[in-house]
Amino acid sequence: MRRGIATAALGMALAAGAQAQTLRVGQAGDTMGTADPHRAVATQDKSLLSWAYDGLVRFPPGSADPARLEPDLAESFERSADGRSFTFRLRPGVRFHDGNSLEAEDVVFSLRRSADPRRSAFAGDYAAVTGVELIDAMTVRVTLRDPVAGALGLFANYHGGMIVSRRADAGGQQPGTGPFRLVSATGGTARMVAFDEHWRGRPAIRAIDQRFITSDATRELAFTAGELDLIMGRREQRWVERMRAQPNTAVDVFSPGEFRTLLISRRNAPLDDPRVRRAIQHAVDPQAIARFVGLDVATPWPSPVPPGYLGTTEDVPRFAPDPNRSRALLAEAGHPNGITIRAVVSSISAQLPIMEVIQAQLRRANIRLEMDVVEHATYHARIRQDLSQLTFYGAARYPVADSYLTQFYHSDSAPGRPNASLNFAHCGAADAEIDAARAEPNEARQMALWAEAQRRILEAGCSVPLFDLRQVWVRRSNLNYGYRLEGALNLGPAITHATRLE
């Protein structure tokens, strides 16, 4: 009898131990979109798949800084002096989840797959790649048509840089080399198990159960009820403060944020006059707007390029909030009674309240803002039809200055152009610097060109940079990431072999 009781107790203890090593995660969204890392564009897929795949180089866990990229599946790499080729020497002893060894042929397959629009959502990022060569069984060389700003990021553990087995197109799950292996994704759940042959070591977490929960309130309720250990949170000051007051709870606020900018269209009167654009720059108070959102989650920033991006600078023109100066500029431009301008505004809570604050700030400067408030999909359609004179936009990009400068401020990216992107300001003030920096192999000269581009953009009155809205996740205090979380380019905390529940 005693032996039976002891056996039962041991079984219960083992079961409890196994349960304690299962990380329960709540992510936004209603289901997993794809298990293919080269097609994963949705936020709920990026973080999960980043736990299953490695890159040739990596952002150190807890960092989103491209200046800190370090070797990962490649034990070493060399960049040519002209910046047009990279040679990677692979780390020996790495295995895929299917048991096969990592070889150079897998890297060649992966990078060619990433550049193929039929098999990758990130093919455009690899447009400059002209060759991926097999040098020997453990060495690969990648050749670029021209130098690419932040080119090493193409080979990082992000988007198309994820390395898969050359058996990936044989059907079923794409074999990776990461610390966890995806075993199922059905309905609103996904399950991952530890990959004990991970080359960095046996993961302390034995399994990850992820639930996809669209409602912020429902995710919070599941967390406070003890059903989840880690959840994607709300990027709201009051919510962060409330969760920090919960027992046994830690709140992580980290980069990259989604950078909020007010773009000023130069296409039509009265904003075709630089004095009127300058009046708007003096009328808007980004510090007050960031305080309205909450300084724990919103970081005011003066440059057109977001904080934390390689090449950003704070050495830019500053326009102190001054309604009197705005009125004087309007009068000088022939508008002594002020002006009326129009903005298409999304009805979502992340935009409309902020635009109402901006509307009030402009009113003090005798600038009347008429807001056409529409649902979010309509907002996106109308701003691309050039129907908004002021456009509030938030976005996160690969953290290198070129990605933001090209998409938001190069004249080729303006609506109506063949390569139209997000240049709703119709800005062309820094085209020469943006183009020159993209092709500049010397890092110091490239940085100087990017800095000059940012200064020219603001001098031309193309925008009012507002604030960076950072990521928010909440975890139980006994979840130890194994590193300090300051950034995560895949928009969720990295779960590594060292992460553990204590």
pLDDT of residue 3: 45
| Contact (Cβ atoms closer than 8 angstroms) between residue 233 and residue 473 | yes
Give the distance, in angstroms, between the CA of residue 40 and the centroid of all CA atoms in the same chain: 13
Q: Are residues 281 and 167 in the same domain?
A: no
The number of domains in the chain is: 2
DSSP character at residue 170: G
Regions in the chain scoring below 70 on pLDDT: 1-20, 170-173
Per-residue three-class SS string for 173-238: CCCCCCCEEEEEEECCEEEEEECCCCCCCCCCCCEEEEEECCCHHHHHHHHHCCCCCEEECCCCHH
241 within domain boundaries: no
- Same domain (yes/no): 360, 489: no
**Is residue 4, in this structure, part of any structural domain at all?**
no
Residue 348 located in a structural domain:
yes
Same domain, 365 and 452: yes
Does residue 379 fall inside a structural domain?
A: yes
Regarding whether 487 and 456 lie in a shared domain, the answer is: no
- Nearest Cα to 54, choosing from 68, 39, 71, 32? 71
Q: Does residue 365 share a domain with residue 323? A: yes
d(CA 320, CA 424): 24
Q: Give one DSSP letter per residue of 111-146, joined into a string.
A: HHHHT-TTT-TTGGGGTTEEEEEEEETTEEEEEESS
Dist. CA 428–CA 410, nearest whole Å: 6
Angle at the Cα of 477 (from 222 to 185), degrees rounded to 5? 45
The whole-angstrom separation of Cα 280 and Cα 262 is 10
Domain assignment of residue 297, given as a range: 257-470
Q: For residues 183 and 303, state if they share a domain.
A: no
- Does one domain contain both 404 and 284? yes
Quick one: which of 63, 377, 48, 497 has its CA closest to 232? Answer: 48
**What is the value of pTM for the model shown?**
0.82
Which pLDDT belongs to residue 174?
A: 83
On whether both 437 and 325 belong to a single domain, the answer is yes
Query: Domain of 211: which CATH number?
Result: 3.40.190.10
Report how far residue 490's alpha carbon sits from residue 181's, in angstroms, rounded to the nearest whole number: 17
Question: Are 292 and 210 in a shared domain?
Answer: no
With respect to residue 382, please indicate whether it lies within any of the assigned structural domains: yes
Instruction: Give CA–CA dist 183/190, Å, rounded.
Output: 8
Assigned domain for 287 exists: yes
For residue 363, is it within any domain?
Answer: yes
- Same domain for 406 and 372, yes or no, is yes
172 lies in some domain: yes
